[in-house]
Amino acid sequence: MVESIARVKHIRVTATKARRVVNLIRGKQATEALAILKFAPQGASEPVYKLVASAIANARVKADASNTYLDEQDLFVSQAFVDEGTTLKRFQPRAQGRAFQILKRTSHITIVLATPEDADVAKAAKKAGKK
């Protein structure tokens, strides 16, 4: 019954490129997600890999703090989403005194790992809230 969250903010990856990678691992087992990310060719897979590893470590620390047993094989990616961060605006000089705007986009990535019991409790709470 452990749920852990890991976030990275203002990472220099565009949100659309990061979403392609996050969509690969949503709903998968945590160790399987690490294996997928390790061999994914996208550039955004490295920071997402580190984020999933951090979420696993957070779950381990949380389980130790509450004195409960945690099997890392039980953890799965219950939520994974990417939000747009701030955009850095830069200018590049062009011909005849003009300036060309460069938008350096950032994103905020959030990964939530949970055990199957947590997912069942969350679904039941969501159903009760809708009624």
Token pair of 111, please?
Answer: 């990964």
Task: Supply the pLDDT for residue 108.
Answer: 97
What is the pTM for the complete model shown?
0.84
Q: For residue 80, is it left (φ>0), alpha (ψ between -120 and 50) or beta? A: beta
Of all residues in the chain, the percent with pLDDT exceeding 70 is: 92
112: containing domain: 3-129
pLDDT digits (tens, 9 = 90+) for 66-85: 888 888 888 999 999 999 99
What's the confidence (pLDDT) of residue 68? 86
Percent of the chain, pLDDT > 90?
A: 76
Range from 13-17, 67-71, 122-126 that averages highest in pLDDT = 13-17
Q: Provide the domain count of the chain.
A: 1
Residue 120 has pLDDT above 80, yes or no: no
Query: Burial code of 25-36, b = ≥16 C-beta within 10 A, e = fewer?
Result: beebbbeebbeb
CB–CB of 88/104 below 8 Å? yes
Cα angle for residues 35, 36, 39 (degrees, 5° grid): 90
Cα distance between residue 119 and residue 22, in whole Å: 19
CB 74 within 8 A of CB 116: yes
**Those residues with Cβ within 8 angstroms of residue 69's Cβ, 6 or more apart along the chain or in another chain:** 63
In this predicted structure, what is the pLDDT of residue 118? 61
CATH number of domain containing 40: 3.90.470.10
